[in-house]
Structure 1
Amino acid sequence: MLDLQKTKLAVEQAYQQFSQIPGGANADYIPFLANIPGNLAAVAVVTTRGDVVSAGEAQYRFAIESISKVCTLALLLEDWGSEVVQEKIGAEATGMPFNSVMALDLHGGKPLSPLVNAGAIASTSLVKAHSVEERWQRILLMQRQMGSGQIALSAELNESEQSTNSHNRAIAWLLHSAGYMYCDPMEACDVYTRQCSTLLTTVELATMGATLASGGINPLTKERVLKPENTPRILAEMTMEGLYDSSGDWAYTVGLPGKSGVGGGILAVVPGVMGIAAFAPPLDKVGNSVRGQKMVAAVAKILGFNLYKGA
């Protein structure tokens, strides 16, 4: 049984120790993100029982960015099942940066992972929908069901993203030429950019993790969001590609499925127990929050959670 008092102490200790350490820089290639105050920080835990523990500015709304890929993958698994997703998108680490074009070229145009940009754009195109708006609304609904109904699109962030996404538009056309695009390429890129442009809190991010930890039931709303057989697939993908080029190092040192976003969010999942989330805008060289990684790793270590550790 999880000790709630120990969890509170772990969250507070992680925040006090790592929330203001130096290092990293905001993502500057998206103007909206460049202007977020770099001193912001928060860490939160949501358990499968519905307990919520947080420290810092855990109600500050920040950009979900690449963490949205987890939600779209979840929707895709619900729509099509794991075999179709593995066949059409993939379940392998690319071994290259998250926005790599070379990774596509080396693998015949197949994106390999739904958690890199190419795979995420292909995933967006595969979501069942009859129109661009239906595609977008279904993805937004999944984010809300996994996190909270307060998650919403930021028009300012979306405009900032749409005006700087030429690289992703190129990736969408490459996917189309290789046969791995399942709707109009520019429609897919537009919706993918929107899904990255929603704002959420650190508590809502931890709730997404707790939904995965509980086998698909949101512990705060008590709603079943995902089929239980789909959550292990999501956690496996997070282990392989969740923290970009640092995914292997994260698995080696922390031992939990994780996902990061260039908005400064970090998520880790302890299956059957909790979601752990953190937020701090400055990123390391591969795009992961410097302080967020430290805070999440500290909570996991203090509480003794590592999937690869013996009983």
Structure 2
Amino acid sequence: MSTAPSCISTGRLPAPEQVRTLVGEAHARFRSHTRGKNADYIPALAAVPSELFGVCLVGTSGSRHEAGDTDYAFTIQSISKPFVFALICQAIGEDEARRRLGVNSTGLPFNSVIAVERAGDGLTNPMVNAGAIATTSLAPGASADAKWRFIQDGLSRFAGRALPVDDEVYRSEAAANQRNAGIANLL
């Protein structure tokens, strides 16, 4: 039995009008922030129009509240990390996932190789690249394809629809993923 605090939501959002208002306010407040930049080390992502910005909140009942560019399909990238971690916690248990992965802050950039070397026990954090790679390795399945199906099916359930793979982005990332390949080799 886990001694960790419960991570279960009530599943209840405030009244629909209030949620619509809050989503609209969040969009209005942050749409002018342009300090970020597209990932230029992934050519397919560098080509995405950087002015796109949308906010969408979907309740557990399927209610949808959105503002801005919410019809533009985008790749989920690192947004997948907490969801994959949740799938692994569900598959092997939260305590076992924490024991095998750790949840410690690295204090380093999300894609740091140094974090792997500093963690003498091999534990890192599922929310940084090294930890996400380790998390993915714990997916049930006898083959890479079976592990991938487990993750893609789980992410699709979270989304409430089948999530496709963007082949152009996949190829672009695969050609430029030397850092993550290096992290995987260190693990």
Number of the residue aligned with 1:57: 69
Paired residue secondary structure (1:152): coil
The one-letter code sitting in structure 2 at the alignment partner of 1:4 is P
State the TM-score, normalizing by the size of structure 2.
0.87
Contact between 1:91 and 1:114, CA under 8 Å: does it hold in 2? Answer: yes
Q: 1:3 corresponds to which residue?
A: 15
Amino acid at match of 1:6: Q
Most deviating of 44-53 and 118-127: 44-53
More strand per residue: 1 or 2? 1
Matched, 1:143 2:155: yes
Q: Offset of 1:17 from its aligned partner?
A: 3.3
Q: After the TM superposition, list the runs of 4 or more consecutive aligned residues in structure 1 that deviate by more than 3 angstroms.
A: none
Preserved CA contact (<8 Å) 1:20 1:39: no
Q: Give me the whole-angstrom Cα distance separating, in 2, the residues matched to 1:9 and 1:89.
A: 39
Letter in 2 for 1:163: A
Q: Measure the CA separation in 2 of the matches of 1:149 and 1:48.
A: 13
Per-residue deviation, 1:6: 2.0
Where does residue 51 of structure 2 map in the other structure?
39
Q: Any conservation in 1 of the 2:53–2:68 contact (CA below 8 Å)? A: yes
Q: What secondary structure is seen at the aligned counterpart in 1 of 2:154?
A: helix
CA distance in 1 between partners of 2:33 and 2:79 (Å): 23
- Paired position in structure 2 for 1:251: none
Give unmatched runs, 5+ long, in structure 2. 1-12
SS at match of 2:117: helix
Q: Give the deviation of 1:93 after TM superposition.
A: 1.1
69-78 vs 112-121, greater mean Cα deviation: 69-78
2:125 to 97, 113, 134: 113
**Once the 2 structures are TM-superposed, how far is the Cα of residue 135 of structure 1 from its aligned partner?**
0.9
- Residue in structure 2 matching 1:95, options 76, 82, 107: 107
Residues 103 and 111 in structure 1, CA contact (< 8 A), matched pair in contact too: no
Using CA pairs under 8 Å that are at least 6 residues apart, name the structure with larger relative contact order, 1 or 2: 1
CA-CA distance at 1:109 after TM superposition: 5.5
CA distance in 2, matches of 1:21, 1:152: 29
- Paired residues for 1:1-311 under 5 Å: 2-108=14-120, 110-175=122-187
Shift of 1:133: 0.8
Counterpart Cα distance in 1 of 2:142 and 2:124: 26
Q: Which moved more, 1:103-112 or 1:77-86?
A: 103-112
The 3 A distance-change label for structure 1 pair 75 and 157 is same
Superposed CA offset, 1:228-253 (max 9, x none): xxxxxxxxxxxxxxxxxxxxxxxxxx
Deviation at 1:78, TM superposition (A): 1.8
Note the alpha carbon deviations across 1:141-172, whole angstroms, 9 max, x for none. Answer: 01000113231111101000100111111111
- Separation in 1 of the partners of 2:35 and 2:136? 34
Q: Which secondary structure does the structure 2 equivalent of 1:62 belong to?
A: coil
Q: What do you get for the CA RMSD once the two structures are aligned?
A: 1.6
TM-score (norm 1): 0.53
Amino acid at match of 1:8: R
Q: What's the CA shift for 1:62? A: 0.6
CA contact (8 A) 2:126 2:132 kept: yes
Aligned-partner residue type, residue 164 of structure 2: A
From the superposition, tell whether residues 118 and 22 of structure 1 become closer, same or farther in structure 2 (CA, over 3 Å): closer
For this pair of structures, how many residues does the alignment match?
A: 175
Per the alignment, in what secondary structure is the counterpart of residue 156 of structure 1?
Answer: helix
- Percent sequence identity over aligned pairs: 36
- Using the alignment, how far apart are the partners of 2:63 and 2:120 within structure 1? 46
Corresponding letter in the other structure for 2:20: K
